[in-house]
Amino acid sequence: MEPTLALTQALIRRPSVTPEDAGCLTLIAERLEALGFHCERMDEGGVSNLWAIWGTDGPTLAFAGHTDVVPPGPEAAWTHPPFEGHFDGEWLWGRGAADMKGSLAAMVCAAERLCQHPRSGRLAFLLTSDEEGPAQFGTRHVADVLEARGELPQWVVVGEPSSAEKLGDVIRVGRRGSLGGHLEVRGVQGHVAYPEKARNPIHEALAPLAAVAAQRWDDGYGPFPPTTFQISNMNAGTGATNVIPGTLTAEVNFRFNPGQTPEGLQARVEACLTEANCDYTLTWALSGPPFFTDGGPLIEATEQALAQVVGYTPERSTGGGTSDGRFLAPRGMEVVELGPVNATIHKIDERVLAEDLPRLRDVYEALGERLLPRLSS
């Protein structure tokens, strides 16, 4: 089996449902140590983290990513078992194939080529098992440690599945911020036949929440899509059909561009609830601010590498969800996300086109050749 494909399969066969790593980092560290990388575990809060670095001086290019995956869902619904790593000759199937164990394997195999020659600069890996979950003790923690030590890399390639229709047609150069809120609306529980003796928090919350959901927050900001608001969960009731509930809870989320501030968005939502005379508590949590890499050596090298390997120039995008780039770019690093086609991520029957994995390795290698040139002998 082709080496990049074989390593991806080995990683898929380790069922690393977040925040578990299931031995993925140990496998990767063994491969990197054989190349002369200094590998340092930075585990924290039940999360597995790895910082590995090769070279002694000069600017640092880091490959970044995560070993954790989302749960597979009902395994009986899969065409092939989600942690088998089935290869049918065209596709490699399994949870994490595209998001993002294929990228990790391609990065390791690219490093095995790059490290055959002395280079100007250093090559690093920043890996975690806490990206799909709360993301509190993963990349954020490692970046805190590296910043305190003055060891932050200059350039970071995150292996998120950025491609849309074919490998390398899209790279992510930024992401909108993510602001989540936990809402509790309090009413008075009672019998449905006597609504005058109760207060229904569902009725009270529906109109202001509908008004918030209907708002057009902006029309985008530069290369960023418009800000969006979604209600992701809502719960109320005792389970009985004849009881007015006493409370309603809801989870809400903004994906916002740099034209908005968390404080401004919070104020507009709270104004709607207050005007509706809701008795409520709304607790906000900022998952990450927007970030954007506007040109620079990393984007230039990425586009040149893609032109060399796949023969076309990618679209620069700031769409999609969040990524661990939100913990890196605000610290001054150039960040680009480049990985496989994202058509099946988080779905039943996640899979990756097998021929894309060695080509992705070649792109990562070509990118490294440009940023970390070989030293003359």
Domain harbouring 237, CATH code: 3.30.70.360
Per-residue pLDDT, 321: 82
Same domain, 301 and 282: no
> What digits encode the pLDDT tens for the residues 211-233?
999 999 999 999 999 999 999 99
> What digits encode the pLDDT tens for the residues 348-374?
999 999 999 999 999 999 999 999 999
- Look up the domain containing 213 and give its range: 177-288
The rounded distance, in Å, linking the Cα atoms of 307 and 304 is 5
159, pLDDT greater than 70: yes
Domain boundary at 288, 314, 334, which?
A: 288
Same domain, 242 and 126: no
126, pLDDT greater than 80: yes
Q: Residue 376 falls within a domain, yes or no?
A: no
For residues 105-132, give the mean pLDDT: 97
> What digits encode the pLDDT tens for the residues 20-77?
999 999 999 999 999 999 999 999 999 999 999 999 889 999 999 999 999 999 999 9
Per-residue pLDDT, 377: 64
Same domain, 271 and 295: no
Same domain, 209 and 145: no
Domain boundary at 288, 311, 345, which?
A: 288
List 20, 44, 68, 112, catalytic entry: 68
- Average pLDDT, rounded, for the chain: 96
Our answer to whether residue 131 is catalytic in this structure is: yes
Q: Residue 377 falls within a domain, yes or no?
A: no
Same domain, 181 and 170: no
For residues 202-215, give the mean pLDDT: 97
Per-residue pLDDT, 341: 97
Same domain, 13 and 79: yes
The rounded distance, in Å, linking the Cα atoms of 361 and 377 is 26
Percent of the chain with pLDDT over 70: 100
Domain boundary at 288, 317, 332, which?
A: 288
Same domain, 227 and 304: no
Per-residue pLDDT, 54: 98
Instruction: Give me 38's structure tokens.
Output: 């200094």
Same domain, 257 and 118: no
Same domain, 282 and 309: no
For residues 248-271, give the mean pLDDT: 97
> What digits encode the pLDDT tens for the residues 304-353?
999 999 999 999 999 888 899 999 999 999 999 999 999 999 999 999 99
Same domain, 14 and 159: yes
List 131, 324, 334, 365, catalytic entry: 131
Which class for 237: exposed (0-12), middle (13-18), buried (19 or more C-beta within 10 A)?
A: middle
State the total domains in the chain: 2
Our answer to whether residue 169 is catalytic in this structure is: no
175, pLDDT greater than 80: yes
